[in-house]
Amino acid sequence: MQKFLSRTAVAAISLAFATEAMATEWNVSLWGKRRAFTEHVEKLAELVSQKTDGEFTLNISYGGLSKNRENLDGISIGAFEMAQFCAGYHRDKNPTITVLELPFLGVETLEQERELSMALYDQPAVQEDLARWNATLLMPSPMPQYNLVGLGEPPRTLDDFEGLSVRATGGIGAAMEAVGAVPTSMSATEVRQSLDSGVITAAAFAPHAHMAFGTIENANWWTTNLNPGTVNCPVVANTDALNDLSDEHREALLGSIEEALDHYVDNYLNNTMEAWGPALDERGIERITYDAESLAAFEEAVAGPAAEAWIEDMSARGLPAQELYDFVTGKLAELKEGS
């Protein structure tokens, strides 16, 4: 009996070690708090756990693993296995994907943003760019066109933007500069304090971020249709960690991306956007709408020069800038024709 128990105990211990060895845990670095911007990552974690019966889990951290501007660095050294970042936070680290942040690119819907991003992420030059950080692009975080929330006297015409200090990154910052505003690049988590302290008087965000980071709490105006562009914020995996996954776990992860993005877009359209109007009304925030002539002049002054400057800058770095720009504009035209 003693021998039987001993053998049973050994078998149980061996099984426990084998089960533990099969389990995989990834740490995921996000920031802020759970919001529309992170719903695809939350859904991905849910799907991966379901498909692997809990053997593969994504442990999501909101700011506990890294600062948002350092997520790509953390991925590069394997400090965590997955992360989200925004290209405009550090354009020199990910120059190829900043083509998606050019002002007035013409993206009209979240689905177009999603498909356009995924298509660009497949381009060899883009994959090579991110490979410098040992990163594999998994999926975008599609966002609508940015608009401004601000304090004080609202800019009722584009001329009124002269001297306005505004939080704006990437191509949106270039657009703001073109109308005389003074753009400042800062991470999303710094914006509310900067507004409240008077460091800036306006902030450019998509609606979910205005709500999540509290920029509407003390604001008194919002631009409804400035629409200068948006920011591209990919979710990436550490390439070594991705390659080390078992075939089953890798398929569970990569095979869940489309469903996670479906959930993200549905949630943004049916929850976030439905809540946006009432949130403005509750706080008495005035909506500022610009006439078509002013917007056309704004786009004409910004879009062409910004694209030309981007192509010249990126070409000087040895990147196939013209090819990437042509690919993006051509793919977007294709998506619009098919919609």
Looking at residue 18, what is its pLDDT? 44
Looking at residue 7, what is its pLDDT? 56
Lowest-confidence segment of 15-29, 98-112, 153-167, 241-255 by average pLDDT: 15-29
Superfamily of domain 2-141+232-271: Bacterial extracellular solute-binding protein, family 7 (3.40.190.170)
CA distance 234 to 122: 13
Sort residue 284 into left (φ over 0), alpha (ψ -120 to 50) or beta: left
pTM: 0.88
CATH number of 147-230+285-338: 3.40.190.170
Looking at residue 130, what is its pLDDT? 98
pLDDT score of 152 more than 90: yes
pLDDT score of 180 more than 70: yes
| CB atoms near residue 15 (< 10 Å) | 10
CA distance 339 to 334: 9
77 φ, ψ to 5°?
A: -100, 5
Tell me whether domains 2-141+232-271 and 147-230+285-338 share a fold. yes
Q: Which residues of 41-74 are buried (b: 16+ CB within 10 A; e: fewer)?
A: bbbbbebbeebbeebbbbebeeeebbebbbbbbb
Residue 329 pLDDT class (50, 70, 90 cuts): very high
Which residues is 182 bridged to in the sheet?
A: 165
Tens of pLDDT, residue by residue over 2-59, are 444 455 555 444 444 444 446 999 999 999 999 999 999 999 999 999 999 999 999 9
Looking at residue 88, what is its pLDDT? 87
* Spans of all domains in the chain: 2-141+232-271, 147-230+285-338
Percent above pLDDT 90 for the chain: 88
pLDDT score of 197 more than 80: yes
Structure tokens that stand for 14 in this block: 């061996």
Which residues is 205 bridged to in the sheet?
A: 147
Residue type, 281: D
- Which one has a higher pLDDT value, 159 or 8? 159
Looking at residue 310, what is its pLDDT? 96
